[in-house]
Chains A and B, each alone.
Chain A
């Protein structure tokens, strides 16, 4: 929709020019990447947009360390990525893209960084990067830069660790996580609806599994197991990790249902990854 309060659009050219804005935005200014959330609601406090898509950041970089996804990489670009054969977790990219409520047309414009910065419990790029232990690179004022695990980037519904004016530059996913076998489960109240619970498990070389819960909780939750648990133990661990009041409550699912679904999924994932572990032996 038209953002009629916006009176100025700043379009810095080049990475240095964009980075120079970091940490310097005031309350009435907002970063503009894909714009798919920003333009979907009135933004009464925003009078200036600073467009970061002119930064020219390479959307996707594969190297020996793993995968670096620029904040401005579109979901469509990420979804189309051809990944090395030994990245057994790469199927999560497609699965998480399809977990968007939004259609593939939105993927042509929406960015991975934008989805993280929105900080919605159902943000599937949060699910993806958190479950694969991505690290978020953040630009602050005067060239400062810091990192935070993607698991800790979102702290609550529409709340992130970003301080005013800070800019998410990219997410680095370590190659060893991309090589893990991974299992994916998602549910919504309607077949084409918004995520009510999204659970991803990865199998560590040590034989343990990491289960990452999103969608059902206000922020991502990780449960790590040293060995593959049976379904009952996995479900019990979910209850131990998340208190009864710790489940998200909105129109996309009741807290009780979300808890029950995550417990079911934790069990299913444990069984699936347990089978994968046995295959490996």
Chain B
């Protein structure tokens, strides 16, 4: 059939069941993205005869004789379409994976529609930004940048669809890999018959546990592999969760691979399944992993992957000395990262027979190391690299596709691609660890804390990846935030036959922050003390030891301290008249039954807040090595850290440019490639700026010194008399062009220690509909102590995005698992991540501090804004309704059931206690 794409006549035949999205990508139009392939996310939006459609749902044959426009065809030559220009000006993206769809949708709207985009964009999901800059871009009203707001280097490539994400290449002769997933939560594989599958034309190989290395590993990636337990095989003969890999088909086409996958006959012996973490601990429970001690599983016979206990002082004495004690159990649910780009990898053998993997990973170097170990290859025989990555949030601090792609490459010696479908992403990757956390806190009448106690039960699912790390990290800063002489913390991470949990933004702290901050709010309310005052009374101050499991010694210091400022900023903002946009945000928070608020008497109004602390770097070492050199047209910077919307590329270029007296546009980044730079532990634990960036700064400062020295030598003047500028080195009235110094280079290396602490405070004002149970956020105010903010616009974006993602988890998101252990909502239409119209605009404030440890005074700020959101929201809902919510998400249907008397009562006492276990001593 013939049709036109971006003005080009095209003659090609789609397959009968092919959708337009893949057909366009077959023609090389990689700007058309796959976020969900089910019509929910809008990343594949194109215009057909001028009308916007989701190309994943349109049969390709319907394009016959029509004109299709993709993001690549929107600009007129070099002149960007206004929608593209506005997204660029507003920096209306982070990872950029959703951007093509956002721009194409914007371009299809008229001026009137653009002014009120919320409802029109419910079919365009962004997981990174929280939508504020996207809304500004759609409206054509980008906020002008400040002096430090350097734009992302890849901005132009992102808005024109030229940015290459993991799957945006088409190597010749590539094979497609499809995975057969287990329907059972717990079973032994007795036999696999691949005869029928192998007979499907185009099938090259069917891989089973017989083909996989016997070696166990962990999908989790840490600098030290011993931090995790070795409990996973590439393909196992025991399945421990519904959705686990059973076999893999490698075929010439995806269709052949799918067909063959469905013809694999597996004989399972069903084993007992333990789905509940409490039951998993009971004597006689099914043992999920019968593994030796060398696996490092703490207690396999009791399904305990890790456990901890510690504290300080005497909590019993502390509670005895308290005037009020609050104790409750808090629960956090299983939530998905829901990055718009699913996991995927493409592997091949290069000309030197090296295993090469192009992947969507936060940790290319650690994945390279893991592949080398797993397949017994020298490190030098493995190369792993990333181009642009469509979102991470911790989910890509795992090796979830590269291991099996490598196996297929090594077996077939051909290029192999595995791209997870959205349903596979929902059923065979990882989630946040669900936790059940009991917190008991006591204080004197004046608010002074006397004792804190916390017990954590973490559900690591079928595999222990990040199970120990999340348990330990979760036990830390949420408790250490408070000065209290008596503390006791213990916890276990247990196996169940559910899908695995893993690294997730906050790394355990979002769960324990919800529990501890909720308990502190309840205790403060009980004592009649304002929550801000309660924090001021009890929070750690510089000089105080930071104590949770133990009092140290450790490498965390007060490199700076801005919690006091954060509290002041939020409290003041909440007491002032909201800025103009807050009205918009209230309207944007959407509808109960009607578009307007309806009868004001139906709405119960309340406010709440919570605080959070986070170490700026993960413990136990985080390494970054980079280089920078003078090139023909500027500088080349080689760094290992990956870009997935975290914005570190911008910050690296900015830091290097500052040190070298040039502009960020002159710094060309080569990144996230094991062939390019020295070692890098990876972009996780919010380290892109404070560890990798610090290495960049060291290298750039060294190079600046070398250039100035060289210039001084040439000019015969003192080094101090030389200044660096965009065009070269100047001294004594002469400028030596940069090319003079071509070849000069310098290295930078950091080890991630010592570490500092960063702070966040979040407050909400909410309205709860007394008859419907729906929750509207009227105001969202956040203050962050990120040290000296290098790029305020970008840092604000990280905070807005973190709050947005946390609101999704606090209000709606939940992985539903049925009685058989199967995920029942494996699509965005059943797993609701926030759309533009779901979210308020969050007002962001920064503390004014300078960190003595971080580069240029900066501290990390990408995970931590997520952490205090759920507790602040619960406090606001309690203030409005008198209902204490102790389990996320706070769904309208469940809140409605708890409203009870509030449904009809005209006034609620905000201090009315509904806890069964609040004790007044």
Contacts and interface: CB of A to CB of B under 8 A. Distances in A.
A214 to B, nearest CB: 14
A139 to B, nearest CB: 22
A106 B44 CA distance: 12
B51 A108 contact: yes
B59 A32 contact: yes
A7 interface: yes
24 contacts: A1-B37, A4-B255, A5-B259, A9-B59, A40-B39, A101-B122, A103-B120, A103-B122, A105-B42, A105-B45, A105-B123, A106-B123, A109-B54, A109-B57, A187-B772, A187-B774, A189-B891, A190-B834, A191-B835, A191-B837, A192-B118, A192-B837, A194-B829, A256-B893
Interface stretch (B3-11, B14-22, B160-168, B655-663): B14-22
Contacts of B122: 101, 103, 192
A120 to B, nearest CB: 10
B17 A189 contact: no
Contacts of A105: 42, 45, 52-54, 105, 108, 123
B110 to A, nearest CB: 12
Contact of B590 (A46, A190, A256, A264): A190
A160 interface: no
A265 B52 contact: no
A260 interface: yes
Nearest to B835: A192
Given A1-B19, A103-B42, A9 B61 contact: yes
A14 B393 CA distance: 52
Given A4-B255, A191-B591, A194-B829, A35 B57 contact: yes
Interface string A243-281: 000000001011011101100110010000000000000
B838 A102 contact: no
Nearest to A4: B255
Interface in A1-55: 1-9, 11, 32, 34-36, 39-41, 44, 46, 49, 51, 53
A185 interface: yes
A91 to B, nearest CB: 12
B911 interface: no
A196 interface: yes
B893 A253 contact: yes
Contacts of B772: 187, 261, 264
A193 interface: yes
Contacts of B52: 105, 108
Nearest to A191: B590
B773 interface: yes
Contact of A254 (B57, B593, B897): B897
A98 interface: yes
Nearest to B48: A108
Contacts of B774: 187
B816 interface: yes
A254 B814 CA distance: 14
Which 6 A-B pairs rank lowest in CB-CB distance, beginning with the nearest?
A191-B590, A103-B123, A6-B17, A3-B17, A257-B893, A4-B255
B639 interface: no
Interface in B821-854: 824-825, 829-830, 832, 834-838
Interface in B50-74: 51-54, 56-59, 61-62
A105 B39 CA distance: 10
B38 A189 contact: no
Q: Size class of A's contact patch?
A: 35 or more
Interface of A: 1-9, 11, 32, 34-36, 39-41, 44, 46, 49, 51, 53, 98, 101-106, 108-109, 185-187, 189-194, 196, 251, 253-254, 256-258, 260-261, 264-265, 268
Nearest to A11: B61
Contact of B16 (A8, A194, A196, A260): A8
B253 to A, nearest CB: 8
B706 interface: no
Nearest to B598: A268
A44 to B, nearest CB: 7
A258 B124 CA distance: 27
A98 to B, nearest CB: 7
Nearest to A264: B771
A191 B42 CA distance: 18
A191 to B, nearest CB: 2
A262 B40 CA distance: 27
Interface string B580-592: 0000000001111
Nearest to A268: B593
Given A102-B123, A189-B832, A39 B893 contact: no
A98 B116 CA distance: 14
B59 A35 contact: yes
B590 A192 contact: yes
Contacts of A194: 829, 832
B732 to A, nearest CB: 63
Interface string B888-900: 0001111011000
A101 to B, nearest CB: 6
Given A4-B17, A4-B254, A41 B893 contact: no
B39 A106 contact: yes
B262 interface: yes
A39 B59 contact: yes
Nearest to A46: B17
Contact of A189 (B45, B259, B892): B892
Contact of B592 (A4, A187, A257): A187
Nearest to A197: B593
Contact of A190 (B56, B105, B258, B838): B838
B811 interface: yes
Residue of A8, A103, A191 with most partner-chain B CB within 10 A:
A191
B893 A196 contact: yes
B268 interface: no
Residue of B825, B829, B892 with most partner-chain A CB within 10 A:
B892
B753 interface: no
B119 to A, nearest CB: 7
Contacts of B262: 44
A39 B42 contact: no
Given A189-B892, A257-B896, A257-B897, A2 B17 contact: yes
Nearest to A7: B16
Interface in B559-609: 589-594
A194 B830 CA distance: 9
A185 B893 CA distance: 17
Given A1-B37, A35-B57, A104 B120 contact: yes
Contacts of A51: 59
Contact of A98 (B21, B38, B119, B255): B119
